[in-house]
């Protein structure tokens, strides 16, 4: 058995040093989905104010991913752009970006007291915090604290903005990224990731902004083999991102491991055809999505509250890790649905190549071999690779189908229905939508 | 909208006070499965040494259940009996049995195991704690710490023992429970639960032991409508448990909510027929198990590493909560597979009856209504009850079946293959089992 | 390889002679479903006027069952009772009721309906045949013609009547059976079957009528393990039928082979408990119906035009034949969904016991072994028993579920909605029904 | 309601006259599969000697398709080429191609007596019949006899040969087609179809041979969107077939309706790009095959004895007919799996365009409306289009998956394993194949 990996707490090598040396870098899993289930993120807006409201929950999830084998801890700044934090009635601003004086006066802000209570390290001054700064800075601090306990780097992340969907111009959209970047620079993250972009045009703008920091930039799009929402192919997306300055390109979210690897394969071919070089990265869903259309799992009728039957097993993820490795992808992680044990599955599958197991393998035998300790003999008989490798797990849901027809409204950037608004969606707007959607 | 429930941190009413008053008591979810996925419990032995090794992880999970609405925090002492901690090569003893003095010097339990692991110089003295005491005491302390932050009681729990399966006699088996009870009394838990018993005979012994403490005792069996492993019907099981002294009876684990409710219904009928009174309790799996045999999900080929497609959605759990309530069950919780959001679903479904929502509903709209904040219009169109209530979620796994044939070895207490051993299962023993099992 | 069975065209032994001697008697398959798909029977009324309108089609189907191994050819008189032929707008009378004289002049029944249809000049006289006589007599003639070509007996059959459902009294209902029996006696069928009864009370009346002929009587009910529509258990049903005079009892239609065998098992137990003796008979559906309620496949949403995915394979039927035989059933056939190849599967499975194969096995290798002649090597590799025995056939329908919720209106004899009428269902009646049924 | 179509028994218009006038021509269904289930064709060799052995069965099936609406009756000459009739131990020759004298001497030829017995119309002469002539001539006679009873044309058909697979040269392969053509010319069929070709090269040779007759030629390949076994695209296949002389092109067999229509769409595009004109034809399977690879349903593990769960409903076929029509296909029929009621579904769906219903609609209400005559009210409530149109029929098989992984041996013309042989496959050859196939 391979040794449990020891921590390199000091003198860590940078992301490009590692990848250039051919090392495998293991990403982390999906924060918004995991913390939604733990009770700290609201599905719909999906914003990360938990970094301020419940830092202990965010910290624990980082800790679990580190223990599972992650070499990269992404700051929990997904959708933490200013325009998203106050989109469609998500007035995070009102809760968080207030002066100390205001806070003290406003006893009635129930949640905020907890902020004060649990995160004593945040110092409030008389000058106003912006919500955006507060949330992003807290995210950086927590990620760094945990990263210091092991061999992991901190990556600051930006993602697509409501501003772009609402047709704001390049300058305005870039200003949104710029605000987050200022925090990342101040907090000195190790590198940057522009992730979860449906339009390569916006991703390129993000890379251009991040690149100014001088830090390495990775860029991933949430697309499948059909390409971005404007019809740009994965190969062309990769080429544009590398030309804009990304050292690492790939995909994240929206599709399952199999489809995502196929998309990265197309990116790799595009780069080769253009004689460009970049490291490849893959952070797919841990949900099976064979029935997705162009826009991925958002369109599935089960999104986001009925996806359970699609959750990947650890064995599905081991197969994914192997395929990703075989294609030449070296930055291998996950996105929505990836729990700590899925990340551990990557680390266990690639343990022979890496030479060590993650800490969390202390509690997990390779391919189920700890079942030899089970009380029941027929469960002990499952303590072997060929059993789990070949299992076709039943759903226990004989009244449910295997695949769904995704909603396909065919609208993207520029469509009236995608214009974002600060106010909550009105009853009338909802009624119109219900009517439009044939149930 | 109902208010978020306020915490009753002091002067809490006891479990029987609440139930006698007709109140709904919400249990917590499944620790071993949740912590296995987070990296702190080993599937196979399923023992809870994480209370000593990684208290922060256990504490965080308690916190999440409290926030989700739990009124009962069970000490994480499942399978923490002495005989289980050293069964089949699970030498928890070697890792944890250290002298009190050493522990006092260390002055903190955090990462205790890692300390032990890395600093070989720690000498074990004669004044040994037993592993059992250490693990159980830590569990009590953590549960109490979190319970103090809200309106929850601490319940100390014992469960079935390898000793019983291996045909040890009544005195020996009772001695095992006695050891755990001593800790619970010392730590002054609020009440006791004897749970996860396949044989009512052993459950009765457990109740008899626990009853001596003078604290209220709840007892749940992990059986379905077919009854216990010796063929005693659910109704008869309930009668025997109440006669032994249990004030609350019901089922936990092994079967899905629907089957478990049916089992409790049979218990209720048995009690009525015997003119006995007791409160009813239900803590089922959050896995769909329509295809289980008498012994429940252990026998399913997917147990324990391929159960993902069976995971219940939050809507499944809301339906469960309603049905349980309608049957007259007032202690409603969950077991393996229940994550914090499943417990929240119980609390949200029964919020009209209780008059308030759990804290975690701050991040969750009733029946998906926060989706009205989503960026995409077709997802906003899902912000309504009838959408989620009627959804038949697809598995995304067209190559997998809906139901499985459970392993049915038909062995129980007394069978040679169920004799437990301290040593790890040998290669030869495993080979014999593989051979016996037609793959 | 066993020899193809030779025909015993003369001196055939009667049904009881065979069964008393312990021989296996193979029944035939389902006429109404097979002929509906061939274009000669109308789903809804399901009446057998094809015996007059298209005798060549009926004759060919008899021929195929004989060739497949049937020892019993049932007259195609299902639902040929007078009250059914003119129920709810099914005016078979108008098409077929012609004078005996006319028929005698025509001297052939072939294409009789078309003759009527095209030559308006045929005048109907006062000396009318009833539709009922015409249809039933033609059925007897065709069955006898084909039975003469092999070792098969002709069985005249009656089934449940609209009169009973509409609460007509015993005398009236018995009169309906009496009319059909007169034809069977005149045409001298070999024995009689009272089949497809949902209420044992009506079945007993039918047996009493048939018994008067002095011919052996078999009686099968279309019930499952829950018993008849009035709640009489299968065991009690069997007892009543035997007491009324049936020599052979069992079930037909409504449920799949597995459930039907279970029901016959309960009948067998009932007879044993009552110390009664009778031969057992089973003629189930060739559709998988694990999701049926008490009333069987009629209630399934797929009935009758969407049952295709449930059709049994030949291998399913071989397993059925074996199980039926092992339970002691010796009259083994099929009902709706059973095509000739399903009957052949029974004859092939039980060929070792019977000592010969059916004629149609000339075109079929045991367990697929003729695939050794296939052009493609990977299909040749399927020429073996263990391949087909273990195959779990895929549906090719990933958007469909595996099980359905049956309609459960819970109405039976006596309910207003079950009162039958001569007139077609009106638009308003249909609208009321659509409204009642939640789609 | 539309009238039942009257027969045009005389002065029928030719296939091209009809198609040129924009009329819909309805093909027939699948003979080998239907007759296999009725007991007259052996799966494996799939040869049509039933035309001689059991002409009444072949005649009846033709009659059913005519009644269901077919305008084309294909001679049952599938795989009736000389080389196929004696491939791999299928010694049809021995049974059928013998001189009258020989026949008279050879009393022991059991089957042959039946030939003599049932088909009195075949005159045996002193000169030797070849098996091929006998089978093909009988097929023509039967088809013509039935076609004369309605508005249908007779089409003589040839299909791919073992000779081609075994790498015989162009002259040899063409000679095989030539032999069958001689019969078709002698019997004066109305037009010719070259169907079921996996390689366009062989199909072109067939068209070239058939074209010499001066009769119209249709050509269909059994391919999907990926093209022929040598990688020629559907568009290119269509172009080559039209250039070789085919007036009608399309696909038949191997794939389900949806995939087949997609393939014809590609053919249509190919022809448009090449500025060629031809009528389009589609005769798909009546099995759902979403999981097929390049070579179609032959590779599915369920082929040929476990396909039942994939059988299309009549509603699936109505949707197919509409889609085919909308794409501009005017020769619309079916292949394996198509029973008479499937053909009727085409004729009913397109009845508004054609102005009349097929004869068999006398026994079938549009979209289930005859269910208004059903005894049970909840079945009467199904008498409407939206019910059946939206039904997702359950399989009743919860232990089976929805999709299968096809065998993909990746061998085609020229591969050693595809070399055909006259002798039966030996035990050793089978063993090698079993070994090769991972079960």
Q: What is the pLDDT of residues B396-424, one digit of tens each?
A: 999 999 999 998 766 677 777 777 677 77
- Which residue of chain B comes nearest to C398, CA vs CA? B398
Q: Among A69, A46, A165, A12, which residue's Cα sits nearest to residue A364?
A: A69
Beta-bridge partner residues of C248: C218, C279
Q: How far does C289 lie from chain B, in Å, by closest CA?
A: 15
Quote the CA–CA distance of B382 and A306 in Å, as a whole number. 11
| Cβ neighbours of D398 in B, within 8 Å | 291, 401-403
**Best of D398, D401, D404, D405 to mutate (most A CBs within 10 Å, chain A):** D398
ipTM of the complex: 0.90
Q: Could you tell me the two tokens for B327?
A: 């049957």
Please give the angle made by the CA atoms of A130, A134 and A137, to the nearest 5 degrees: 135
User: What is the Cα–Cα distance from C20 to C278, expressed in whole angstroms?
Assistant: 10
Instruction: Flag whether residue A433 sits within 8 Å of chain B, measured between CB atoms.
Output: yes
Per the structure, the complete domain to which residue C227 belongs is given by: 15-436
* Residue written as token pair 């841990």: A286
Put simply, whether D403 touches B (Cβ < 8 Å) is: yes
| Residue pLDDT, tens place only, C191-237 | 999 999 999 999 999 999 999 999 999 999 999 999 999 999 999 99
Residue in A closest to C394 by C-alpha = A402
Q: Tell me whether residue D401 is in a domain.
A: no
Which residues 67-96 of A have a C-beta within 8 angstroms of B?
A: 67-68, 87-90
The beta strands (E) that lie in A202-314 are given as 217-221, 248-252, 279-283
Lowest mean pLDDT among A125-129, C63-67, D249-253: A125-129
Judge whether D434 is closer than 8 Å to chain C, CB to CB: yes
A335 annotated binding-site participant: yes
Q: Minimal CA–CA distance to B50: which of B119, B136, B174? A: B136
Instruction: Output the known binding site of B.
Output: 253, 335-336
Burial level of C127, CB count in 10 A (0-12/13-18/19+)? exposed
Which one, of C284, D399, A39, A155, lies nearest residue B364 by Cα? A39
Give yes or no for A410 touching B (CB within 8 A).
no
Structure tokens of D414? 């020229």
B432 to chain A: nearest residue by CA? A381
Percent over 90 (pLDDT), chain B:
69
Judging contacts by C-beta atoms under 8 Å, the chain A residues touching residue C404 are: 399
Cβ(D33)–Cβ(D58) under 8 Å? no
The answer to whether residue C109 scores a pLDDT higher than 70 is: no
Contact D401 B404 (CB under 8 A): no
D238 pLDDT tier (thresholds 50, 70, 90): very high
pLDDT single digits (tens) D169-194: 999 999 999 999 999 999 999 999 99
Contact assignment for C39 to D312 by CB distance below 8 Å? no
pLDDT digit string, tens, across residues C296-309: 999 999 999 999 99
CB within 8 Å: D378 and C67: no
Q: Kindly list the distances between the CA atom of residue D402 and the CA atoms of B257, C222, C395, C398, D288, in Å, as whole numbers in the listed order.
A: 26, 30, 5, 5, 10
| Stretch D231-235: mean pLDDT | 97
DSSP character string of D202-271: HHHHHHHHHHTT-S-EEEEE--BTTBSTT---HHHHHHHHHHHT-SEEEEESSS-HHHHHHHHHHHHHHH
- The nearest CA of chain D is from the CA of B405 a distance in Å of 8
Q: Do D424 and C45 touch (CB under 8 A)?
A: no
Among the partner-chain residues B398, B401, B403, the one whose CB lies closest to the CB of C398 is: B398
Please say whether the beta carbons of C51 and D80 come within 8 A.
no
CB-based contact, D398 to chain B, within 8 Å: yes
Higher pLDDT, A22 or A381: A22
Contact of A391 with chain C, judged by CB distance below 8 Å, is answered with no
Does residue A256 surpass a pLDDT of 70? yes
B22 to chain D, any CB pair closer than 8 A? The answer is no
A401 touching chain C per CB within 8 A: yes
For tokens 């119906």, what's the residue?
C289
Is B403 in contact with C402 (Cβ distance < 8 A)? yes
Question: Distance from A287 to chain C by nearest Cα, in Å?
Answer: 17
Does residue A388 register a pLDDT over 80? yes
Banded pLDDT at A123 (limits 50, 70, 90): very low
Question: Annotated binding residue at C282?
Answer: no
CA distance B397 to chain C (A): 9
Other Cβ atoms within 10 Å of C201 Cβ, number:
17
Window A:246-305, CB contacts with C under 8 Å: 291
Confidence check: pLDDT of C110 > 70:
no
* Shortest Cα distance, chain A CAs vs residue B423, angstroms: 9
Q: Give me the torsion for CA of C432, C434, D1, D4, rounded to 10°.
A: -120
Q: Tell me, yes or no, whether A3 lies in a domain.
A: no
The whole-angstrom separation of Cα B268 and Cα B271 is: 5
For residue C193, what are the β-bridge partners? C157, C218
Q: Tell me the Cα Rg of chain A.
A: 22
CA distance B291 to chain C (A): 12
Residue A31 inside a domain? The answer is: yes
Does B403 lie at the interface with C, CB-CB under 8 angstroms?
Answer: yes
Helix (H, G, I), strand (E, B) or coil at C42: coil
Contact (CB<8Å) B403/D399:
yes
| Average pLDDT over every residue of D321-326 | 98
Distance CA B24, CA B280 (A): 11
Residue D347 Ramachandran class (φ > 0 left, ψ -120 to 50 alpha, else beta): alpha
Instruction: Encode pLDDT of A275-328 as tens digits.
Output: 999 999 999 999 999 999 999 999 999 999 999 999 999 999 999 999 999 999
Which has more confidence, C416 or B203? Answer: B203
- C398 part of contact set with chain B, CB < 8 Å: yes
B319 in Cβ contact with B8 (< 8 Å) = no
- Interchain CB distance below 8 Å, A398 and C400: no
Contact status of A395 with chain C (Cβ, < 8 Å)? no
Residue in B44, B305, B370 nearest the CB of A43: B370
| pTM score of the predicted model | 0.89
Q: Do B398 and D402 touch (CB under 8 A)?
A: yes
Q: In whole angstroms, what separates CA D151 from the centre of its chain? A: 20
User: Would you say residue C416 lies in a domain?
Assistant: yes
Chains touching chain A, criterion 3+ CB pairs below 8 Å: B, C, D
Q: Which sign, positive or negative, has the C-alpha torsion A246, A252, A258, A262?
A: negative
Q: How far apart are the first and last CA of chain B?
A: 53
Contacts A–B by Cβ distance under 8 A: 343
Chain B's closest residue to D290, CA to CA, is B398
The CA distances from residue A290 to A403, B15, D258, in Å, are 8, 48, 18
Q: Is-contact B283 B334, C-beta < 8 A? A: yes
Q: Does C396 touch chain B (CB under 8 A)?
A: no
Binding site feature residues of B for Zn(2+) = 253, 335-336
Q: Measured between CB atoms, does C403 come within 8 Å of chain A?
A: yes
- pLDDT, chain B, mean: 87
Domain assignment present for residue A10? The answer is no
How distant is the Cα of D316 from the closest Cα of chain B, in angstroms? 20
The verdict on D398 touching A (C-beta cutoff 8 Å) is: yes
Rounded to the nearest angstrom, the minimum Cα separation between A51 and chain B is: 14
D156 has which bridge partners? Answer: D192
Say whether residue B405 is in contact with chain D using an 8 A CB cutoff.
yes
Q: Would you say residue C92 lies in a domain? A: yes
Give me the helices (H) in C97-216, please: 100-106, 112-118, 131-147, 162-165, 170-186, 200-211
Residue D133 lies in a domain: yes
By the CB < 8 Å criterion, does B438 face chain C?
no
Residue A8: inside a domain, yes or no? no
Q: What's the CATH code of the domain at A31?
A: 3.20.20.330
The angle, 0 to 180 degrees and rounded to 10, between the axes of the packed helices C234-244 and C200-211 is: 20
The pLDDT assigned to A141 comes to: 97
D391 — contact with chain A (CB < 8 Å)? Answer: no
- Please give the Cα distance from C216 to C193 (Å, whole number): 9
Number of domains chain B contains: 1
Asked if the Cβ–Cβ distance from D405 to B398 is below 8 Å, we say no
Share the mean pLDDT of chain C.
87
Mean pLDDT of C50-64: 97
pLDDT at C174 over 80: yes
* pLDDT band per the 50, 70, 90 thresholds, residue D166: confident
């Amino acid at each position: 058995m391979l040794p449990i990996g020891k921590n390199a707490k000091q003198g860590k090598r940078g992301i490009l040093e590692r990848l250039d040396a051919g090392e495998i870098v293991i990403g982390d899993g999906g924060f918004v989905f995991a913390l939604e289930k733990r009770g700290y993120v609201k599905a719909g807006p999906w914003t990360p104010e938990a970094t301020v409201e419940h830092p202990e929950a965010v910290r624990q999830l980082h800790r679990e991913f580190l223990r599972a084998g992650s070499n990269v801890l992404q700051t929990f700044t997904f959708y933490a752009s200013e325009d998203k934090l106050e989109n469609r009635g998500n007035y995070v601003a009102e809760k968080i970006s207030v002066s100390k004086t205001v806070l003290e006066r406003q006893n009635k802000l129930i949640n905020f007291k907890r902020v004060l209570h649990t995160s004593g390290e945040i110092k409030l001054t008389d000058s106003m915090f912006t919500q955006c700064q507060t949330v992003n800075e807290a995210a950086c601090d927590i990620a760094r604290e945990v990263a210091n306990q092991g061999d992991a780097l901190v990556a600051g992340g930006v993602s697509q903005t409501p501003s772009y969907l609402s047709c704001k111009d390049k300058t305005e959209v870039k200003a949104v990224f710029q605000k987050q970047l200022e925090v990342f620079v101040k907090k000195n993250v190790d590198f940057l990731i522009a992730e979860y972009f449906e339009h390569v045009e916006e991703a390129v703008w993000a890379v251009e902004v991040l690149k100014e920091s001088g830090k390495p930039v990775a860029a991933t799009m949430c697309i499948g083999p059909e390409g971005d929402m404007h019809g740009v192919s994965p190969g062309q997306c990769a080429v544009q991102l590398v030309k804009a300055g990304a050292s690492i390109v790939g995909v994240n979210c929206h599709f399952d491991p199999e489809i995502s690897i196929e998309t990265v394969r197309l990116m790799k071919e595009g780069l080769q055809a253009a004689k460009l070089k970049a490291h490849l990265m893959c952070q797919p869903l841990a949900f099976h999505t064979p029935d997705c259309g162009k826009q991925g799992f958002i369109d599935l009728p089960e999104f986001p509250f009925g996806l359970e039957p699609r959750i990947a097993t650890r064995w599905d993820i081991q197969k994914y890790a192997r395929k990703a490795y075989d294609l030449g992808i070296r930055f291998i992680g996950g996105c929505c649905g990836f729990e700590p044990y899925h990340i551990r599955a990557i680390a266990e599958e690639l343990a022979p190549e890496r030479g060590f197991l993650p800490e969390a393998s202390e509690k997990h035998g390779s391919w189920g071999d700890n079942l030899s300790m089970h009380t029941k003999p027929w469960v002990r008989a499952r303590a072997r690779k060929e059993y789990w490798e070949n299992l076709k797990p039943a759903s226990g849901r004989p009244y449910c189908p295997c695949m769904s027809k995704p909603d396909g409204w065919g609208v993207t950037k520029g469509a009236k229905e995608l214009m974002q608004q600060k106010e909550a969606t009105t009853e009338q707007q909802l009624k119109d939508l219900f009517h439009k959607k044939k149930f």
